[in-house]
Amino acid sequence: MAELATLARPYAEAVFGLAKDAGNFDEWSEGLTFLVSIIEQPLISAVIANPRVDKAIVTDLLLDICSEQKVSDSVKNLVKVLIDNHKLRVLPKLLELYEQLKAQQQGYIPVEIVSTYEVTPEQQEAVESALKKRFGKAVALSTTLDPSLVGGWLIRAGDQVIDLSIRGRLQQMAAELRR
């Protein structure tokens, strides 16, 4: 995981610099998110991972998909650079690092709440208020459903993880019993 972060960091910083200069942070966020969703599709992922498929074919495929969705030329150029440098696999980490840089620039912390059930607006407000006090910054909440947690929440704020899930507690108890 650290290797991917090391490889993705220069690209994320370069993209952040371009976004900052042009003032189009959201356009880059949307473009990068779209690219990650494309390369994570099983069929596309298989094509990218196949060593017999020439990188020119992968480039054409991804650029055609990007053109259909009217992705910016800057994002298309990034695709070409990543493919030319055999770094397309760092794209998800690049997006994560870019979003962290964007959040720092704009003065907020992105927070993800992973839950087994829908989080109510009241619960979101309570978590947002508590995290604002804890970090002294605005918070941008997003929620994800994950039934494997069994119950409770997993809260990711920057590089901090607060595990309030039943799965996490069961894993902790199992580890203590093994001692």
| Mean pLDDT (whole number) for 66-77 | 88
Question: Tens of pLDDT along 141-176?
Answer: 888 888 888 888 888 887 788 888 888 888 888 998
How much is the average pLDDT of 124-136?
88
Q: Tell me, what CATH number does 130's domain have?
A: 3.40.30
Asked whether residue 39 falls in the same domain as residue 79, the answer is yes
pTM above 0.75, yes or no: no
Say how far residue 172 (Cα) sits from the centre of its chain.
Answer: 27
Is 140 found in the same domain as 52? Answer: no
Over the stretch 89-121, which tens digit does the pLDDT of each residue have?
999 999 988 988 998 888 888 888 888 888 899
CA distance 66 to 50: 21
Q: What total of structural domains would you count in the chain?
A: 2
Give 116's contacts (C-beta < 8 A, 6+ positions apart): 145, 146, 147, 149, 150, 151, 152, 165
> Can you give the pLDDT at residue 3?
87
Domain extent at residue 26: 2-102
Residue 40, pLDDT score? 92
Which of 80, 102, 124 is a domain's end point?
102
Task: Tell me how far apart the alpha carbons of residues 102 and 109 are, in angstroms, rounded to a whole number.
Answer: 9
Report pLDDT for 2. 60
Question: CATH no. for residue 85?
Answer: 1.10.520.20
Last residue of a domain, one of 102, 130, 152: 102
Q: Are residues 41 and 128 in the same domain?
A: no
What value does the mean pLDDT of the chain take?
88
161 and 77 in a common domain: no
Strands 138-145 and 152-157: unpaired
Evaluated on CA atoms 74, 104, 100, 9, the torsion sign reads positive
* Span 49-57, average pLDDT: 90
Percent of the chain at pLDDT exceeding 70? 99
Kindly state whether residues 86 and 132 are assigned to the same domain.
Answer: no
